Structure 1
Amino acid sequence: MSVARATQLPADVRLEYPFASHELSLRSGATMHYVDEGAGPVVIMLHGNPTWSFYYRNLVKELQAAGFRCIVPDHIGCGLSDKPEDYNYTLKQRIEDIEELIDYLGIEHFSLVVHDWGGAIGCGVAGRRPEALDQLVLLNTGAFLSKRIPFRIAAIKLPVWGEFVIRALNGFAGPAATMAVKTPLKPAVKRGILWPYRSWRDRVAVWNFVKDIPLHEGHPSYATLREVELGLAKLADKPIQLVWGARDFCFSMHFHDRFRAFFPQSESQVYPKHGHYILEDGGREVWQQIVAFLSDSKGAR
Structure 2
Amino acid sequence: MSVARATQLPADVRLEYPFASNELRLKNGATMHYLDEGTGPVVLMLHGNPTWSFYYRNLVQTMVAVGYRCIVPDHIGCGLSDKPATYTYTLEQRIEDVEALLDQLAIDRFSLVVHDWGGAIGCGVAGRRPDALDKLVLLNTGAFRSKRIPLRIAAIKVPVFGEFVIRALNGFAGPAAIMAAKVPLKPAVKRGLLWPYRSWADRVAVWNFVKDIPLHASHHSYQTLSEVEAGLSQLKDKPVQLVWGAKDFCFNMHFYRRFQQFFPQAESAVYSQHGHYILEDGGSEVWQQVCKFLTQ
Give TM-score scaled by structure 1 length: 0.98
Q: Distance in 2 between matches of 1:226 and 1:2?
A: 34
What RMSD, in angstroms, separates the aligned Cα atoms of the two structures? 0.4
> Which residue is 2:68 aligned to?
68
> Which residue is 2:59 aligned to?
59
> Which residue is 2:220 aligned to?
220
> Which residue is 1:150 aligned to?
150
Letter in 1 for 2:278: I
Query: Is 1:181 matched with 2:188?
Result: no
> Which residue is 1:165 aligned to?
165
Query: Is 1:140 matched with 2:140?
Result: yes
Identity across the alignment (%): 79
Task: Tell me the SS of whatever aligns to 2:218.
Answer: coil
Letter in 2 for 1:227: E
> Which residue is 1:299 aligned to?
none
Letter in 1 for 2:15: L
Q: Distance in 2 between matches of 1:29 and 1:222?
A: 26
Q: Distance in 2 between matches of 1:123 and 1:215?
A: 18
Query: Which aligned pairs between 1:102-121 and structure 2 lie closer than 5 A?
Result: 102-121=102-121
> Which residue is 1:8 aligned to?
8
Q: Distance in 2 between matches of 1:60 and 1:185?
A: 19
Q: Distance in 2 between matches of 1:85 and 1:195?
A: 18
Letter in 2 for 1:96: E
Query: Is 1:22 matched with 2:22?
Result: yes
> Which residue is 2:236 aligned to?
236
> Which residue is 1:79 aligned to?
79
Q: Distance in 2 between matches of 1:254 and 1:241?
A: 16
Task: Tell me the SS of whatever aligns to 1:20.
Answer: coil
Deviation string, structure 1 residues 156-179 (Cα, Å, up to 9, x no partner): 000000000000000000000000
> Which residue is 1:262 aligned to?
262
Task: Tell me the SS of whatever aligns to 1:183.
Answer: coil
Q: Distance in 2 between matches of 1:91 and 1:66?
A: 33
> Which residue is 1:250 aligned to?
250
Letter in 1 for 2:186: K
- 1:13 CA drift (Å): 0.1
- 1:3 CA drift (Å): 1.1
Query: Is 1:96 matched with 2:96?
Result: yes
In structure 2, the gaps of 5 or more residues are: none
Letter in 2 for 1:114: V
Letter in 2 for 1:203: R
Query: Is 1:277 matched with 2:274?
Result: no
> Which residue is 2:208 aligned to?
208
Q: Distance in 1 between matches of 2:222 and 2:229?
A: 11
Deviation string, structure 1 residues 118-166 (Cα, Å, up to 9, x no partner): 0000000000000000000000000000000000000000000000000
> Which residue is 1:125 aligned to?
125
Task: Tell me the SS of whatever aligns to 2:198.
Answer: coil
Deviation string, structure 1 residues 178-230 (Cα, Å, up to 9, x no partner): 00011100000000000000000000000000000000000000000000000
Letter in 2 for 1:270: V
Q: Distance in 2 between matches of 1:123 and 1:141?
A: 11
In structure 1, the gaps of 5 or more residues are: 297-301
- 1:28 CA drift (Å): 1.3
Letter in 2 for 1:68: Y
**Which structure 1 residue ranges, 4+ long, deviate > 4 Å from structure 2?**
none
Q: Distance in 2 between matches of 1:240 and 1:88?
A: 31
- 1:5 CA drift (Å): 0.8
Q: How many residue pairs get matched?
A: 296
Q: Distance in 1 between matches of 2:190 and 2:2?
A: 20
- 1:2 CA drift (Å): 2.3
Deviation string, structure 1 residues 68-114 (Cα, Å, up to 9, x no partner): 00000000000000000111000000000000000000001000000
Letter in 1 for 2:181: V
Query: Is 1:47 matched with 2:65?
Result: no
Q: Distance in 2 between matches of 1:129 and 1:3?
A: 30
Deviation string, structure 1 residues 14-44 (Cα, Å, up to 9, x no partner): 0000000000000111000000000000000
